[in-house]
Amino acid sequence: MTNDLPNIETEHLRPVEQDLLTLAGGLSHPPRVLMLHGLLRARSYSRLLTEEVARVLRRFGVEVRMITIPNQSSVPKAFGEFHDDGRMKPSPLYNRMVDVMEGLMKFTLLTRGRAAYLVDRYSERVESAGELSRRVNQVQD
Which segments within 1-76 are labelled E, that is strand? none
Domain boundaries, the chain: 1-68, 70-141
pLDDT in single tens digits along all 141 residues of the chain: 457 878 777 888 787 777 777 777 766 777 777 777 776 777 787 778 788 888 888 887 888 874 455 555 667 788 888 888 888 888 888 888 777 777 767 776 777 777 778 778 888 888 776 787 787 887 666
**Which residues, 6+ apart, have CB-to-CB distance to 52 below 8 Å?**
none
